[in-house]
Amino acid sequence: LEDGLGAASRFTTPLGIAVHPITGDIYVADANRIRKISPTGLVSTFAGAENNAVGYADGSPAAAKFNYLSDIAIDNDGNIYVADRNNNRIRKYTAATNTFTTIAGSSAGFADGNGTQALLKGPTQLAVDANGNVFVTDRGNFRIRKITNKGIVTTIAGNGSNVSSDGNSSAAGISDPFGIAVAQDGNIYVSEYNRHVIRKIDTKGNVSTLSGGAEFGLADGIGAKAKLKNPAGIIAAADGNLYFVERANATVRTVLLSDSKTKPLMAAYNATIDYTSKVPQATFSNTLAAQEKELKNDPLLKRFAKSRQDLAVDKHRPFYHFISPEGRLNDPNGLSYWKGNWHLFYQAYPPEDPRQHWGHAVSKDLINWKDLPHAIYPNPEKQVYSGSAFVEENRVIAMYHGTEVGSMVAVSDDPLLLNWKKLNDGKPVIKLPKPGEKLPYNVFDPFVWKKDGMR
């Protein structure tokens, strides 16, 4: 997470974005900080703890602290609103006073009321209308909340049950609300992420289902004939139509409000996306002596050594158990014994490309471990998820889940398992079903074993 000009900057978990209507600056909700991008491309930290630490504090931008910002919006006067999800609060930056305040929420729960007397649970996204009223998807409470410009919090839709049903205001059911948008005519639109529909709340509080039905998938059509899957962010555009993104379908779609017809705007599912890692990847020799010599000068291992040296003073980090040399460690995989060494693989999150890679360490005794360069890098998969390894006489086989593609297989046979080749021309051996495609399987995190001579 670094400030800087253009590509020199780094973000951690950017989830929301808004454009300042006066200055043209772009503001991004990024983990526990608000980042600012100037029209010239300079990225700076506008608010939040300098080290991205979790916390809760109002005050000046430098003093303010947050806990997982999931969305951001800006009103016509340049005031900024953020959904502070894990603090269960909505926070407001008032431009005139250069101060953050809490306008709704305190501890997790449900209650209407004035300001911090009201309770929210996991507020996810928000929208601001022309009058400065804030509308929030209160995801954990299965409700849509309104915060007036006077700070009064009310429930405009949802009865608290995780069931999607039409009706008026709090009599209607809102299931897993995620994205929210306010149109110029005052109608509100909400995406229900795991219910796979778009809902409409009109100015009289009537809740109806605008797009999507009982079956999820990918199909265009009017109303319930359209099929969606995991609709997320949504906007009501000046042209009078809705635009929303679907995570599972990897598409951008539009709803023509004149006839409620859903159609694609841009589809990325069949597109070829380059997921090549930004982490340096080397090719090593095939003899042990040559590999050991090359590892002494490997820049990634030098970086790991420096990181471990810096982290050695942290008394809270485990001493006896293996830990990642940088960033967090997730899902140890594929423990294997090969040519006199134990090999441990794990999900690593490199700082320059924090998608899951398979990290790699080696040991003679399962106690003292040495770092090795990452074993498996993403592409064509977006992320290298969990899996397993199987040792044969002449090679080691790794099988794992590659996000957005399916089950991948890679093999290595060199002394330290430094060079891995993905089989099947780098394509999944068990493909991930496409939206709407019905297959007799859906495989995640595969485990490989051998029985009766068969793998």
Q: Is the pLDDT of residue 27 over 90?
A: yes
Q: Identify the structural domains of the chain with CATH numbers, from first to last.
A: 4-264 (2.120.10.30), 288-431 (2.115.10.20)
Q: Is the pLDDT of residue 105 over 90?
A: yes
Of 406 and 274, the structure prediction assigns the larger pLDDT to 406
pLDDT grade for 264, boundaries at 50, 70 and 90: low
Q: How far is CA 154 from CA 102, 114, 118, 180, 205, in A?
A: 16, 9, 8, 16, 12
Give the model's pLDDT for residue 199. Answer: 96
Task: Give which of 106, 103, 195, 183 is closest to 142, Cα–Cα.
Answer: 195
**C-beta separation of 429 from 401 below 8 A:** no
Of 172 and 213, the structure prediction assigns the larger pLDDT to 172
59 residue type, one letter: G
Taking the C-alpha atoms of residue 307 and residue 321, their distance in angstroms, rounded to an integer, is: 17
What percentage of the chain reaches a pLDDT higher than 70?
95
Give the residue-averaged pLDDT of 402-410.
93
Q: What is the pLDDT of residues 414-447, one digit of tens each?
A: 999 999 999 998 999 998 876 566 777 778 899 9
Q: pTM score, two decimals?
A: 0.63
Highest mean pLDDT among 212-221, 311-320, 421-430: 421-430
Taking the C-alpha atoms of residue 199 and residue 260, their distance in angstroms, rounded to an integer, is: 11
Q: Which segment of 105-119, 353-367, 427-441 scores lowest on mean pLDDT?
A: 427-441
Q: Is the pLDDT of residue 453 over 80?
A: no
Give the residue-averaged pLDDT of 217-237.
90
* CA atoms within 13 Å, Cβ hemisphere of 443: 19
Give the model's pLDDT for residue 271. Answer: 43
On average, the pLDDT of the chain sits at 91
Give the model's pLDDT for residue 315. Answer: 83
Q: What is the pLDDT of residues 184-197, one digit of tens each?
A: 999 999 999 999 99
169: left (phi over 0), alpha (psi -120 to 50) or beta: left
Give the model's pLDDT for residue 26. Answer: 95
Cis peptide before 378 (omega within 30 of 0): no
Taking the C-alpha atoms of residue 412 and residue 389, their distance in angstroms, rounded to an integer, is: 11
Q: Integer distance in angstroms from the first to the last C-alpha of the chain?
A: 43
Alpha helices in 227-354 (DSSP H): 288-296, 299-311
Q: Is the pLDDT of residue 270 over 50?
A: no
Q: Is the pLDDT of residue 269 over 50?
A: no
Give the residue-averaged pLDDT of 351-363.
94
169 residue type, one letter: S
Give the model's pLDDT for residue 447. Answer: 92
